Amino acid sequence: MQFLNVLMMLPQEAAGSTDFINVLVERFNEGGGYMWPIIITFILGLAIAFERIITLNRADINTRKFIVNVKKALEDGGVAAAEDVCANTRGPVASVFQAGLLRHDEGIEAVEKAVISYGSIEMNFLERGLVWLSLMIALAPMLGFLGTVVGMVEAFDAIESAGDISPSLVAGGIKVALLTTVFGLIVAMILQVFYNYAVSKIDRIVVDMEEASIELIDSLILLNAGRPLTNPTAKS
């Protein structure tokens, strides 16, 4: 019986969502020409946000497991085996590891310089596109405010032409003018959520790179000293 009730409510919910879309389209049309730059800003911002989120999710790996695999490869097969593990692993952490391992013959200082340099490069790759996303976040409400100001000017022009302050004339003009601000703020808030998610993801990956770099240098020092890299008890 409850299942039948749920089925009967589905058309009503679909109709409600259709009504909401119709109202949204109606408000969009009422906003005038300044709505189109706002919607274009929204589309561009979403495209950048989705591209960054997909890229960052692909760059995020299980750093702890990766470090353990590299240490085992160093113990069992040496630096060459560890380089193969890094080459077969995606993400900036593996790239930084591989850059350090390629300079192991030149000493620990060379490894540190390589890790720092490649870490900066990988960070720039992670942050690529975010400046444009922040531009869209700032641009959307500015376009909305611009549309509101222009709409208010047009409303006062209409009052001046009519020679009479009609409540319906003033209210209608102001309503249309404020719609651009509403849409601009909504677009900015939605894009801001994606921006903060991307920034938090980048911060986490950067922390993983820093921790992994320390682990790499410590592992190479232990390897050169002939000491074990992993816990023998955990290995058995």
Q: Is 38 found in the same domain as 24? A: no
Q: Is 58 found in the same domain as 11? A: no
Q: Is 73 found in the same domain as 15? A: no
Q: Is 141 found in the same domain as 118? A: yes
Q: Is 89 found in the same domain as 54? A: yes
pLDDT of residue 2: 41
Q: Is 24 found in the same domain as 74? A: no
pLDDT of residue 234: 42
Token output for 211:
């921790």
pLDDT of residue 168: 66
Q: Is 139 found in the same domain as 101? A: yes
If one counts the domains in the chain, the total is 2
pLDDT of residue 142: 92
Phi, psi of 100 (to 5 degrees): -70, -40
| Residue 198 buriedness (CB in 10 A; 0-12 / 13-18 / 19+) | buried
Q: Is 22 found in the same domain as 116? A: no
d(Cα 188, Cα 55) in Å, to the nearest integer? 22
Q: What is the pLDDT along the chain (236 residues), one digit of tens a residue?
A: 443 343 344 344 444 556 757 766 666 666 667 788 999 999 999 999 999 999 898 888 888 888 888 888 888 778 888 888 888 888 888 888 888 888 888 888 888 888 888 888 888 888 888 999 999 999 999 998 888 888 777 777 777 776 666 666 666 667 777 888 888 999 999 999 999 999 999 998 888 888 888 888 888 877 777 666 665 444 43
d(Cα 220, Cα 22) in Å, to the nearest integer? 64
d(Cα 142, Cα 217) in Å, to the nearest integer? 49
- Quote the domain boundaries for residue 21: 1-30
pLDDT of residue 78: 80
**pTM of the shown model:** 0.76
CA atoms within 13 A on the CB side of 107: 2
Q: Is 111 found in the same domain as 22? A: no
Token output for 72:
């085992």
pLDDT of residue 41: 93
Q: Are 174 and 148 in contact (CB under 8 A)?
A: no
Q: Is 51 found in the same domain as 17? A: no
pLDDT of residue 106: 80
Q: Is 24 found in the same domain as 36? A: no
